[in-house]
A and B are shown apart, each in its own frame.
Chain A
Amino acid sequence: MLIPSRRKLTLGAAALALALSFGPALADKTLLNVSYDPTREFYKEFNEAFAADWKAKKGEVVTINQSHGGSGKQARAVIDGLDADVVTLALAGDIDQIANKTDKLPKDWASKLPHNSAPYTSTIVFLVRKGNPKGIKDWGDLAKEGVAVITPNPKTSGGARWNYLAAWAWAEKAFGGDETKVKQYIADLYRNVPVLDTGARGSTTTFAQRGIGDVFISWENEAFLVQKEFGADNFDIIVPSLSIKAEPPVAVVEGVAKAKGNEEVAKAYLEFLYSPAGQKLAAKHFFRPVDEAAADPADLARFPKLELVSIDTDFGGWAAAQKKHFADGGVFDEIYRPTN
């Protein structure tokens, strides 16, 4: 069992102390990367690449432990004391929460790394059953009667928030900014959702494995992954006329990394994401690299060009979007209010 070396002495009842005392240090350094759902496959390969790189450069063995889950849930765990050295979450809002509720992260964490600390981006696309039997072409089709839409719960899933905002951005454009109509569209869309999973992966399973729903609003990388895992001849990817530029950010949880003596390796780990090797891997796992020159052209060719709105210019940043749409009593809650 890979129990990492802990500088921390775990006390407690005798039995509980016993529980942690076994397992010698197998690694010189152990990092914990707390991430969101669809990055599993990417970080699995990236961690190996980084460990090899670090070994070559510093001669030190580094083991990276991973924790995956819904982005909000993961942020909550870090706030509650999960000892993450780095967080690689679905949206800046969740890392902001960690910075606001703890002193483990500086408020200006996003400025510590290039591109707002987002080493790769993605967008939101549709995944439909082979041959697109419901003829889904754009966001407007999702609100039509008789179309079953799969998307996770924006309250708990970061990806779901990007889904929601992309739909909102399209509707705002389509209805010329008439907010009543936009809200009605969003409400109609979510009325078509038969299963609201708590995380993006739950929704993927619902759509791909259980066969529920006609269209799955998905991270672009997750849509490609589904085609890879479940067979390209079962699903088609539909690119809508407009979507959102999703920037999943990364940050060193300085308070934790410092205490564990991992500051240097944690920083190097995230910087490695921006390196040509890291960018190439990101593109391989269907994330859009910020440095396209580093990526395999064949990987790049898979990404369709489409019009993208941005969270900062179109929604006034995460804090504003969170408050208006997803906070308690926000627009999303209104959708499910009983209409009398």
Chain B
Amino acid sequence: MSDAVLPAIERPRAQPMGESGLVKGLLIGTALLFLTAFLFLPLITVFLEGFRKGADVFFDSFSDPDTMAAVKLTLLVAAIAVPFNALVGIAASWAIAKFNFAGKNLLLTLIDLPFSISPVISGLVYVLLFSAHGWLGPWLIANDIEIIFAVPGIVLATVFVTFPFVARELIPLMQSQGTSEEEAALTLGASGFHTFLRVTLPNIKWALLYGVLLCNARAMGEFGAVSVVSGHIRGLTNTMPLHIEILYNEYNFVAAFAVATLLAGLALLTLVAKSFLEWRYAGELAASHRH
């Protein structure tokens, strides 16, 4: 799993040995054709549909208060889920990378678990726990606490789905960095927290940022899990992906794709930021993947 999201490593390129220009062109052509069918066309479609009726209609889509509510809810959910998962990721990778203890491999596998679980199941488990007929449902109702069909449920489902993202970026890097620098700082009398702040954090900041970026993109774009726990109340519990579905179902295709372009734009921005990080800090990131 550690290699789930690897950046390209920039380095001077030797001339390829062997392949003739024809073979080379053929291979590049095939690869690009494949990419066009599966990546470029979907992306272009989103933007074309969004602007189908002109830029005015496109921008008008965002004046709808329900759309703005969906954007705000999505930002709110990401603002809670991403820092939380970043903290958990740092804590988990600190424990896993800097110490040897029994059950470490099990912990690693369990952290990975949400990655391979269907998003639908991620939503379902919270329904089973918190819905009116769930295990905690009666108690929640008795105490007037809302989780499912409200913001907390959406946050929980999002945290679940994006749980491994930061941890999986940090663990291999921190393992490869070992503990010698921290040990040196501690020997010189620095406090534990100080050591983390001044020694560890600078070493992992780019991988951390990278993990946060991917975590954020997924948190904002999650559909399946959130759909199960949302209740789909216009202007209240619809995140952007859910609002897109609603707009689409209201024959408001332009608005649906306009909101989708926001998310696609976010995806592109994430990719640009990621490429920039890789370009700027190629060495450090490359180190993170030689574990």
Contact = CB atoms under 8 A, between A and B. Distances in A.
A163 B264 CA distance: 38
Interface stretch (B114-122, B148-156, B174-182): B148-156
Contact of B149 (A41, A83, A209): A83
A66 B65 CA distance: 14
Contact of B152 (A16, A66, A230): A16
Contacts of A82: 149, 231, 233
Nearest to A80: B131
Nearest to B73: A1
B56 to A, nearest CB: 20
Contacts of B132: 79-81, 102
Interface string B126-138: 0100111110010
A253 B4 CA distance: 48
Contacts of A3: 236
Interface residues of B, number: 41
A40 B250 contact: yes
A201 B84 CA distance: 37
Interface in A35-94: 37, 40-41, 65-69, 77, 79-83
B69 interface: yes
B133 A2 contact: no
A80 B152 contact: no
Contacts of B130: 81
Contacts of A337: none
Given A12-B152, A16-B155, A68-B246, A80 B133 contact: yes
B44 interface: no
Interface in A89-147: 101-102
Interface in A16-32: 16, 18-20, 32
B145 interface: yes
Contacts of B284: none
Contacts of A8: 144-146
B232 A68 contact: yes
A9 interface: yes
A293 interface: no
Interface of A: 1-4, 6-12, 15-16, 18-20, 32, 37, 40-41, 65-69, 77, 79-83, 101-102, 199, 201-202, 205, 209, 229-230
29 contacts: A1-B68, A1-B69, A2-B236, A10-B144, A10-B145, A10-B146, A12-B152, A15-B84, A15-B155, A19-B77, A19-B80, A19-B155, A20-B150, A20-B152, A32-B233, A66-B233, A68-B232, A69-B232, A77-B149, A80-B131, A80-B133, A81-B131, A81-B132, A81-B137, A199-B249, A201-B250, A205-B251, A209-B251, A230-B251
Interface of B: 65, 68-69, 72-73, 76-77, 80, 84, 127, 130-134, 137, 141, 143-152, 155-156, 231-236, 246, 248-251, 253
Given A8-B146, A11-B143, A20-B146, 20 more contacts: A1-B73, A2-B65, A2-B236, A8-B144, A9-B144, A16-B155, A18-B80, A19-B80, A20-B150, A40-B250, A41-B250, A65-B233, A67-B232, A67-B234, A69-B232, A77-B232, A80-B133, A81-B137, A81-B141, A101-B133
